[in-house]
Amino acid sequence: MKNPKYLHDTESILARLDQLNEIGVALSKETDTNRLLEAILVAAQKITNADGGTLYRMTEERTLKFEIMRNDTLQIAMGGTTGVEIPFYPVHLFDKDAVPIKSMVAAYAVHHDQSVNIADAYTEEGFDFSGTKNFDKKTGYRSKSFLTVPMKNHENEIIGVLQLLNAKNPASGVVTAFSKEAQQLAESLASQAAIALTNRALISHLENLFESFISLINAAIDDKSPYTAGHCARVPQLTMLLAEAVDATRVGPLRDFSMSEKDRYELKIAGLLHDCGKVTTPVHVVDKATKLETIFDRIHLLDTRFEVIKRDAEIQLLKAGQSREAPATVAVELSQRLLEIEADRAFLRVCNIGGEMMSDADRERVVQISTKYRWQDVSGKMVDFLSVDELENLTIRAGTLTAAERAIINHHIDVTIQMLESLPWPKHLKRVPEYAGGHHERMDGKGYPRGLTRDQMSLQARCMGIADIFEALTAKDRPYKKGKTLTESLTILGKFKLGGHIDPDLFDVFMWEEVYLKYAEQFMDKSQIDSVDLAKIPGYVAPPQ
């Protein structure tokens, strides 16, 4: 018959091993570093019956930084998610002459790459426990047993130290030394914890590298086009503001929508990449501030031609005047002719500036001016005042882009989709191409590039569509227009809701949760932030009660 004590000890060890396995699974699932560090220390205390402990992390300066501190008796909880900073300097591993410091237990464990199990700090020789004794003197606590375990990653590098304090007898609560079994369990946990921390660090580094690369692409796009600098950053911000508002709303058709942290990260990445295809868009199209601009604004060529026309008119009338008896009449005719020419030049200068909508009458006048004047080109041939290309540009109805140039601009979304769909996205980022590629689609299927309807699009892509439009309306850094006020922008956005351009439910949340105002306070000039009369915004409806 087996000894009951033996059976009890075996059952206890098996129970602890089960705990260790459960802890290992839990650690592998934790994605937040602070929560992971806390979980490691709490788990170590639990399986060793420790009253307290400290978790240190190795710094690039080769010191041990206090990350988490716990003491159940003193009810101390510092570091990690507590928000309470640990007021202790890092443990130095080397002195100013680069000589290893071994008097501190944590440093000793690092230098010797081994666990240190101390039964009583007050009687142990060879270590400096003056700090511990001062702590006890101030708090009335009695620090006794210590178990210090180095934490090593898969490359056998020490990345931290786990230090446990005052093992307690489970039955009596009396402080005892850490047993050999407890040490083995702590070492096993430290090994698992080191792997979990290393994995989390590697993932974090990869995420940082990926986001930095995205920022690099966006910086290249913004540097390529200083007039739209910041667009690649503002659209993701506004997209997230709207998505968070939908997540928070508890009324309306979208009240059941919710996002996890992974969902948020996926949408954030999609927002950052939504215009990555613009890296291929020609600069002269992106930066086209006036209708005649290519590498330079060709309005100056028209100025030169007008000067030639004026010169020819003067010569013609002066020659005609030589055969007349009333030179004063010639002077009047010349003055009137020059005024007419100057008026046409001023008119074309106004037409060169892209506006909201060019009238049919103004477009017809441009056509008349084109044939009204003739001039001799460099080949000596008499031609119309405006070339076919100049005539096409000066009669653009809205904005500064011709149909061909608009197609070039629109092509960026095709490139964006091609670029994103070619990447081997991990599972939690699989929807990035769809989110980023849908911000120019319309709810009625009249958008581009795929002509998707509302039902064919995710809510996230529809959020980005509204964000892209509102940012463009309010942006103050466009070469062809001024940033609109809140009222002007919301009026246009409301009309887009009624016209089937944007998602009506998202527009409602945009208004109900005052997303527009939160965005304005961060990114718009104060002069643009006017008082919005909601009753005058097309498509606005009050939130349900």
Which of 289, 262, 286, 275 is CA-nearest to residue 234?
Answer: 275
* Block residue for tokens 């945009």: 510
Sign for the pseudo-dihedral over CA of 27, 30, 36, 39 = negative
Average of per-residue pLDDT across 206-232: 80
**In the numeric block, which tokens belong to residue 236?**
């993701």
Q: Could you give phi then psi for residue 520, rounded to 5 degrees? A: -60, -40
Confidence of residue 404 (pLDDT cuts 50, 70, 90): confident
* Block residue for tokens 């995205």: 214
Residue of 332 and 486 predicted with greater confidence: 486
- 87-101, 181-195, 201-215, 312-326: which range is least confident on average? 312-326
Which of 282, 319, 302 is CA-nearest to residue 369?
Answer: 302
Q: What's the pLDDT at 229?
A: 61
pLDDT digits (tens, 9 = 90+) for 234-289: 999 999 999 999 999 999 999 999 999 999 999 999 999 998 888 888 877 777 77
CATH of domain 225-280+422-536: 1.10.3210.10
Which of 450, 466, 480, 451 is CA-nearest to residue 511?
Answer: 466
Numbered ranges of CATH 1.10.3210.10 in the chain: 225-280+422-536
4-203 adopts what CATH topology?
Beta-Lactamase (3.30.450)
Q: Percent of the chain beyond pLDDT 90?
A: 55
Sign for the pseudo-dihedral over CA of 395, 398, 399, 405 = negative
The chain-wide mean pLDDT, for the chain, equals 87
Q: Is 362 helix (H, G, I), strand (E, B) or coil?
A: helix
pLDDT digits (tens, 9 = 90+) for 222-242: 777 666 667 888 999 999 999
Q: What's the pLDDT at 15?
A: 62
3-state secondary structure 183-218: HHHHHHHHHHHHHHHHHHHHHHHHHHHHHHHHHHHH
> For residue 56, what are the contacts with CB-CB under 8 A and spacing of at least 6?
64, 65, 66, 67, 91, 106, 160, 161, 162, 163
Cis? peptide before 449, omega within 30° of 0: yes
Numbered ranges of CATH 3.30.450.40 in the chain: 4-203
**In the numeric block, which tokens belong to residue 16?**
């602890």
Residue type, 229: A
Q: Is 139 helix (H, G, I), strand (E, B) or coil?
A: helix
Are 68 and 80 spatial neighbours (Cβ–Cβ below 8 Å)?
A: yes
- 21-25, 122-126, 318-322, 405-409: which range is least confident on average? 21-25
pLDDT digits (tens, 9 = 90+) for 442-490: 999 999 999 999 999 999 999 999 999 999 899 886 665 678 999 999 9
Q: How far apart are CA 399 and CA 210, in angstroms?
A: 36
Entry pTM? 0.69
Cα 185 from chain centroid?
A: 42
- Rounded to whole angstroms, what are the CA distances from 107 to 85, 158, 394, 444? 22, 11, 76, 67
Are 245 and 470 spatial neighbours (Cβ–Cβ below 8 Å)?
A: no
Q: DSSP of 416-462, one letter per residue?
A: HHHHHHTS---GGGTTHHHHHHTTT--TBS--SSS--BGGGS-HHHH
Residue of 140 and 217 predicted with greater confidence: 140
Q: How far apart are CA 293 and CA 393, in angstroms?
A: 9
- 379-393, 420-434, 439-453, 510-524: which range is least confident on average? 379-393
Q: How far apart are CA 188 and CA 44, in angstroms?
A: 10
Q: What's the pLDDT at 1?
A: 47
Q: Percent of the chain beyond pLDDT 70?
A: 91
Residue 145 has pLDDT above 80, yes or no: yes
**In the numeric block, which tokens belong to residue 193?**
């914890």
Average of per-residue pLDDT across 484-509: 96
Which of 367, 468, 353 is CA-nearest to residue 399?
Answer: 353
- For residue 149, what are the β-bridge partners? 162
**In the numeric block, which tokens belong to residue 60?**
């690039």
Q: What's the pLDDT at 524?
A: 92
* Block residue for tokens 């790459």: 113
* Block residue for tokens 């396995």: 21
Q: How far apart are CA 486 and CA 519, in angstroms?
A: 10
- 4-8, 207-211, 412-416: which range is least confident on average? 4-8
Q: Could you give phi then psi for residue 321, rounded to 5 degrees? A: -70, -25
Are 106 and 92 spatial neighbours (Cβ–Cβ below 8 Å)?
A: no
Average of per-residue pLDDT across 68-79: 94
Residue 296 has pLDDT above 60, yes or no: yes
Which of 432, 502, 527 is CA-nearest to residue 211?
Answer: 432
Average of per-residue pLDDT across 86-110: 93
Q: What's the pLDDT at 154?
A: 79
The region, left, alpha or beta by phi > 0 then psi within -120 to 50, assigned to residue 230 is left
Q: Is 289 helix (H, G, I), strand (E, B) or coil?
A: coil
Q: DSSP of 450-516, one letter per residue?
A: S--BGGGS-HHHHHHHHHHHHHHHH-S--TTSPPPPHHHHHHHHHHHHHTTSS-HHHHHHHHHTTHH
Q: What's the pLDDT at 5?
A: 46
Q: Could you give phi then psi for residue 508, rounded to 5 degrees? A: -60, -45
Q: How far apart are CA 247 and CA 240, in angstroms?
A: 10
Q: What's the pLDDT at 7?
A: 40
